[in-house]
Structure 1
């Protein structure tokens, strides 16, 4: 039998060409593992590159002149049928498919939106609409996301399906607010035509893996951390008679890197790399520009922080051997503060560090940068913890205001604001820091209108409602942060059950009913078990059960206002207008919305 000749070919292709093909993956490769940070980086990188080129006066044809964006290699094994097996690139293809679905769902009705986007997600296959990346266990989920933008996995489905839903929701959270109806068609054409890949394909699975391993073998390349290590150590005297010698510096540097590497970030990023970028940007970067072609401190630290340190040695006061040694000592000091931040988040001691944990629950990844910027070298533990509390409370104020007003809190929408603030709080004492942040340096905080629940903001509103509940609970003497209920998971509960006929006298249409029912004044955070048991009951029937739940639910019942000195004392101190309700109509929803707003405003004034 003649042995088949192994071949390998490659070609640079745009997204629209690659995604017009049909793919599958081998059974042992099927897990989709991207985390929020990966999606955040993808959305941020793509939108930033596009916006460097786009101008309001451009017509669609101008997109052909925009700069391309390279997404790396995709390694395929060509099968005998009409589908190619992905050897390397499944995570990117899956994530970009989710992005295409998001664009289609949210902007597909915009005038002149390219119809081809839909065929890059799924296309006709002998009369059947099949996803171009077709994996059986994902089909139901992907179809629901494409059709409805929503899917609730059941407990028996694999983790990759749950991950698909979470990453799709992350796209909404991370979306760049500068991509709007005005330019989304330009963005869609740029994505299809100017985002490119190196497509590498072979007719042999075995050979495909050889290619994959060769392309990903980093055994000989040094990381930025290792190159910074070499630069710093090379400038320290190798004199063991001195305390500040090269051997001592090496041990201290390696120790801090190893400690950082043990931190697990929810974003799935490597903490040791994140620390160096975060610390150098928050403490030293002057030019924070992220514009096209920028060589700003911010951009260079993100791409090559080891070179940035070398090129800025004078500004960093790195002149003598002792200076370089002391710089490593300083790195070690701030690495311990970075560790402390994540340790406190993991411990979830909301009685002491509520706002630090709330910001983490908002999935706000820029929090450590602002906290590190506020800390001065050799601040003692008491000062550090005080600054963590001051900065995290201010951040919660900003983030909660944005969630309340349906304003984005993604990295792309907040990064410039946060790092500009980093520059202004460097070197401040505790006595200087609090009044400065009380002046609302990022933006004026005003709670306008009322937020309404939708599938995109569900997670953020759950955090906001949990915060409001915790403010009242803690002030009443019984802290009970609902996001800590891991053994009995919580979810948003509508006070109105989903029966429009019960409110026909007030709601003339389903739209009016939904608007009232999804307004924040009609919402609580309660255990899922409660919602499963009583969520479909009318208000008069479930009111008696609210008295057994958290303080915000209890406050609807008359009994809460009897023999509860902690709660009554809080009402008297705060002057907040809590009321029990025998009936719950649109007027009461409005009053509860006013109450929630007042709780937040009172808390910010404390």
Structure 2
């Protein structure tokens, strides 16, 4: 027992919530620790895991105290050693740094909300004599160069940053912004924050000194020889094949996994999961099991996969895996750079639409030649490209969590489908998309759609460049390599109301952010000339891409390719040599809508879209605004009112069960509508919007939702 006591003095294991983990004086990082190196895929996995686990628990019926009974989530162990009273991270800094980035993002997103969760600042940093020290900091103070701008919502000059670790912090923060589900940004946000802080836990394995901590780390990661799902699946398959075939099976297995790892370190497991879901899953339960432990799932499904026969197990690797892994490598390469014929694969990867991979694999048959493979990949990726763009302008979510069940079901339907049938079937899917580019007529830059606006502008500019053979591509507008100025959104109207004195101040802000009043220009231009009046900026636009140059009359002189483009597609391009007023913005808005229809024309991908098709409505939780309207609880034409900071905002419920705000923009969900009018990244629309009851009083929209299960109560409120 004496030895056990000594061991307890040397190593202490403590279970801690995220709140407890970040409530101390912070963690140190030794100079020999590797830099922050997590990739987009690792951040995506963490965000998906956290948000999916939370969503299993949350209900619109819940109050905040109910979060205390939500199922916990284990984030894994960390190893620390204490020195000078400060715990130093030996293992786990990648995970905890990413959680800190998530906390910073949540702090910024909830800023200004009346239901904001307090105390996030003290978890993210401490104030040491007027200097912010972050919860996870290094001795080199490099992180502050990235974290301080992130914390304060400031710009970060990524192009001139020398440290790859600092740039990576910035990029991974941008991934969180892009990947975090839209619906969790609204009324669910405070619930999620409390769940993250108080129901997500780690185990801190603390050693007395760093040498012992490093020994623990090595034991857990090396001598423990933890077998991965890949290792166990390989062992299982080798045990199934005939002895004479084992060497060949092993060689193909190793060669293909090496090929994948050479392209991306996490590609091995990602491929196996995508392939198994695409070709062998029979439903959502299988999809979930494959995602958590695909080796166990294969063991359980071995009979129906024909793996119990030695020849079946052999063919599974030598024929099926060999072919599919090779095609997956091609797709993976196409996600990293533009490949002729596979451009939509790159676009979807840019938007983190990882579900394109299993969907494409599902359509393939072993033996499909290169032309067939490329055609099928282009059809699937093209369909998703159209879906994503329409979702963007209609403020709809297209992230993994919102699409996984729908697209995995589609994958099962189109397994092995020939290319001609696939073009027809996916054309039907396009026809069934309820979102259209009609929404471009009122589309505007908002705090939560900046990434989408930049993407849409990039695609439009690149499309014009391609048509006019300028040599510029989409990648040129989106990459931000070291030493290269990144492109940023340019407001044609400077943020100076004095330049537009005839426009009411509130209307000025709305018009300035309209899609047609925006361009994409290098960051240094925005910094130097963004606050200049239109007359001063117009000549400078001539030095940039055609979409910007088209504002100047000289763009239409001696420019035959551009003029042919206008004539061929009857595009409403027009120069504005003297002034760019509200009417010009509306004209430009119409131009951008026409461009969107062309850039995302399904026919370019080979999709055959029927003239009519049954419309499949988006699934929403059972008490959404649409459900309330369809049930008669909220009548069409209802006038909504919301007040904030002494300003009253009005909206109307349309016949399509959407909320039309004063700018004309329409939103299917109440919270994005509230966030849009307030200019906030997040807001709870159910507690913002009010509806007039029969007695003239204003009743929270949330009252009608909560009472939807009690028809008598709702009827009484609305009775004439």
* Structure 2 length-normalised TM: 0.75
Aligned match for 2:434, one of 444, 458, 471: 444
Q: Does 1:99 align with 2:91?
A: no
Partner of 1:291: none
Corresponding residue for 1:224? 229
2:495 is the counterpart of 1:505:
no
**Aligned match for 1:496, one of 473, 488, 492:** 492
Quote the Cα distance in structure 1 between the aligned partners of 2:598 and 2:345: 19
In structure 1, the partner of 2:31 is 27
Aligned partners of 1:413, 1:95: CA distance in 2, in Å?
22
Task: After TM superposition, give the deviation of residue 527 of structure 1 in Å.
Answer: 3.9
Is 2:365 the partner of 1:376? yes
State the shift of 1:455 in Å: 5.8
SS at match of 1:201: strand
Change (3 A) 1:425 1:17: same
| 533-542 vs 300-309, which moves further | 533-542
From 291, 305, 309, the counterpart of 1:302: 291
Partner of 1:413: 402
Q: How does 1:547-566 map to 2 (within 5 A)?
A: 547-566=542-561
Is contact 1:556-1:579 (8 Å) kept? yes
Partner of residue 17, structure 2: 14
Which residue in the other structure is 1:198 paired with?
Answer: 203
CA deviation after TM superposition for structure 1 residue 347, in Å:
4.5
1:544 match: 539
CA contact (8 A) 1:236 1:322 kept: yes
Q: CA deviation at 1:384?
A: 0.8
Q: CA RMSD in A?
A: 2.8
Q: Which residue of 2 aligns with 1:516?
A: 511
- The aligned runs of 1:218-297 (5 Å cut-off) are 220-239=225-244, 245-264=245-264, 270-288=266-284, 296-297=285-286
Match of 1:122 in 2: 125
Please give the alpha-carbon distance, in whole angstroms, between the structure 2 residues aligned to 1:148 and 1:213. Answer: 39
For residues 148-163 of structure 1, what are the structure 2 equivalents within 5 Å?
Answer: 148=153, 151-153=156-158, 155-156=160-161, 158-163=163-168
Q: How far is the alpha carbon of 1:456 from its aligned partner?
A: 5.0
1:549 deviates by 2.8
| Structure 1, unaligned runs of 5 or more | 240-244, 289-295
Instruction: Give the secondary structure class of the aligned counterpart of 1:595.
Output: helix
| Map of 2:386 onto structure 1 | 397
Whole-angstrom distance in 1 between the partners of 2:488 and 2:515:
10
> Alpha carbons of 1:36 and 1:346: their partners in 2 closer, same or farther (altered >3 Å)?
closer
Cα offset, 1:162, TM superposition: 2.2
Whether the aligned pair in 2 keeps the contact of 1:493 and 1:535 (CA below 8 Å) is no
TM-score calculated relative to the size of structure 1: 0.88
Contact 2:159–2:486 at 8 Å: present in 1 too?
no
The answer as to 2:511 corresponding to 1:526 is no
**Matches of residues 303-452 of structure 1 in structure 2 within 5 Å?**
303-328=292-317, 329-349=319-339, 352-440=341-429, 443-447=433-437, 448-449=439-440, 450-452=442-444
Q: What is the alpha-carbon distance in structure 2 between the residues aligned to residue 316 and residue 30 of structure 1?
A: 42
Q: How many residues align?
A: 584
Give the distance between the partners of 1:39 and 1:346, measured in 2 at CA.
17
**Shift in Å, 1:85:** 1.6
Counterpart contact for 1:110–1:181, Cα < 8 Å? no
Segments of 5+ residues of structure 2 without an aligned counterpart are 1-5, 604-720
> 1:556-594 CA distances to partner (integer Å, 9 max, x unpaired)?
233333444433333233222222221222221222122
* 2:476 corresponds to 1:484: yes
Q: Quick check: 1:54 aligned with 2:68? A: no
For the structure 1 residues 212 and 498, does the alpha-carbon distance in structure 2 shift closer, same or farther, using more than 3 Å as the test? same
Aligned to 1:262, what secondary structure does the other structure show? helix
8 Å CA contact 1:330–1:377 kept in 2: the answer is yes
